[in-house]
Structure 1
Amino acid sequence: MSNIQPSVAKKTIGLLPNLIFMSRWLQLPLYLGLILAQCVYVFHFWVELTDLIGAVFGNASSLEHILDAVTIDGAVRPTKLTEATIMLVVLGLIDVVMISNLLIMVIVGGYETFVSRMNLENHPDQPEWLSHVNASVLKVKLAMAIIGISSIHLLKTFINANSYDVKTLVAQTGIHITFLLSALAIAWCDRIMTATQAGQDH
């Protein structure tokens, strides 16, 4: 008996389907633009951190910049570096880091999901979440990242609660709760879809 297996004819993709499929590369400039936005955030982080360190060591211009950055319109401007002021600046730095993390998830996860594989399976620095990323997982992770960013903004508002009216505080709290409910809804829909898919496979 011959061991030669019959050759499987390679399926040829038509011109129009191939053009449509190749159009995914139009997203590449978008991801490159997000990388540039990441660079802007790195620069902003460094400027804020430098000013904070300079203010701690008594640099007058750094102190002025920090106080201007944390002063709410219509509120009394602080005259020195206080614990609350330092906390607001640090929360701002954390906010930048979390937004930067969000950018990384969008850039890496979006490129891997919608444009092309990066073949990072054997790379020692491959993010753990990237090994099982898909559109549903990416949406859930982005929703959780947005909730984290919203939490930081809400905390900054509560620290300066005396500078805001009740309407603003209630509105920001409501928006944050809306983000929470939206993330729960997305996660629940993803769970239902996963369970349905698992049932079909069996």
Structure 2
Amino acid sequence: MEQFFERMMYRSRWVLAPIYFGLSLAILALGIKFFLELFHLLVDIVVLSEADMILVVLSLVDIAMVGGLLIMVMMSGYENFVSQIDLGKDEEKLSWLGKMDASSLKAKIAASIVAISSIHLLKKFMAAETVDNDKLLWYVVMHITFVASAFAMGLLDVLYSRVNQPK
């Protein structure tokens, strides 16, 4: 009976596989949104002010960073929690694939969230005349919270690794 439950628990990891595949569909949606924004930028480039153009470009960078974050979560999560990705010998393999454990994935996600938050905050500052000062303050507070959280997670990982080093 125990062996049955252990096997079922172990095999239940495959429930995550469609979730990771769903992230690939989210990447497809981001790609569509990216090219729609790029199309609007190119069509309206003559009438856009420099500030508005920079805001659109920042949105494109934001979409690209979220896409990279999704790839990282999708591929590393699948490899860490479901199954190793077996690519043919002729296929290109990402250098970090198979090398990112849950701890390093967490650090990279935190760093990506801080970078995405930075871009979002920069967009808000550039459109500051249309944003209420109280809202701008809350954006800054949230960004500082993301930065502090990422720093604290990194510090805790360093402390944890020092404590658990073989002596």
**TM-score, normalization by structure 1:** 0.77
* Separation in structure 1 between the aligned mates of residue 90 and residue 132 of structure 2, nearest angstrom: 51
Aligned to 1:130: 97
RMSD of aligned C-alpha atoms?
1.9
- Residue 48 of structure 1 pairs with residue 15 of structure 2: no
- Residue 35 of structure 1 pairs with residue 24 of structure 2: yes
**Amino acid in the other structure paired with 2:7:** N
* Separation in structure 1 between the aligned mates of residue 97 and residue 162 of structure 2, nearest angstrom: 21
* Separation in structure 2 between the aligned mates of residue 127 and residue 190 of structure 1, nearest angstrom: 25
What displacement does 1:194 show? Answer: 1.6
* Separation in structure 2 between the aligned mates of residue 155 and residue 127 of structure 1, nearest angstrom: 31
Aligned to 1:9: none
Tell me, yes or no, if the aligned pair for 2:79 and 2:85 is still in contact at 8 Å. yes
User: How many residues get paired?
Assistant: 166
Q: What runs of 5+ residues in structure 1 fail to find an aligned partner?
A: 1-12, 59-79
Q: What runs of 5+ residues in structure 2 fail to find an aligned partner?
A: none
Per chain length, whose mean CA-contact separation is higher, i.e. which structure has more relative contact order (CA < 8 Å, sep 6+)?
2
CA offset digits 1:42-95 (Å, max 9, x no partner): 011111111111122x6xxxxxxxxxxxxxxxxxxxxx4110010000001001
CA offset digits 1:115-162 (Å, max 9, x no partner): 111146x77743333343111111110000000110010000000111
* Separation in structure 1 between the aligned mates of residue 31 and residue 93 of structure 2, nearest angstrom: 22
Indicate the structure (1 or 2) with the bigger Cα radius of gyration: 1
Equivalent positions of 1:1-202 (< 5 A) are 14-56=3-45, 80-119=47-86, 125-198=92-165, 201-202=166-167
Identical counterparts, % of pairs: 39
